[in-house]
Amino acid sequence: MTELPGVPGALRRFSVLALLVGIGLLVLVFVAMPLRYLGDRPGFSHAFSPVHGFVFMGYLVTVADLARRVGWSVRRTVLVMLAGTVPFLSFVVERRVAADVRAAG
């Protein structure tokens, strides 16, 4: 099978954003939220949360772009999008998606 146009770039963008979202979510869950609620120090959370939200929106766009290019179902697209909301899951899903897309291309 020949590689679909634009798929390598879309996969690279998806992989980078999945990594950034995963790291950002871990920082939020294990650093920002404990500082905010256990340490009564909300400053880091107030500064970092919007940045993470912006990166997550970029992740959603890259998932939609990759899904369109490789022909995923709506269900698979939504599941990959939701993977960015569970700590550590974006790393696992990124590996699987990358392997699946490379195998198909």
Reading the chain (105 residues) residue by residue, the pLDDT tens digits are 446 788 999 999 999 999 999 999 999 999 999 999 999 999 999 999 999 999 999 999 999 999 999 999 999 999 999 999 999 999 999 999 999 999 987
pLDDT value at residue 12: 97
pLDDT value at residue 45: 96
Task: Residue 15: give the domain boundaries.
Answer: 7-104
With contact defined as beta carbons under 8 Å apart, do 18 and 59 qualify?
yes
CB burial string 37-63: b at 16+ within 10 A, e below: eeeeeeebbeebbeebeebbeebeebb
Q: Tally the domains of the chain.
A: 1
The answer to whether residue 1 is domain-embedded is no
The answer to whether residue 37 is domain-embedded is yes
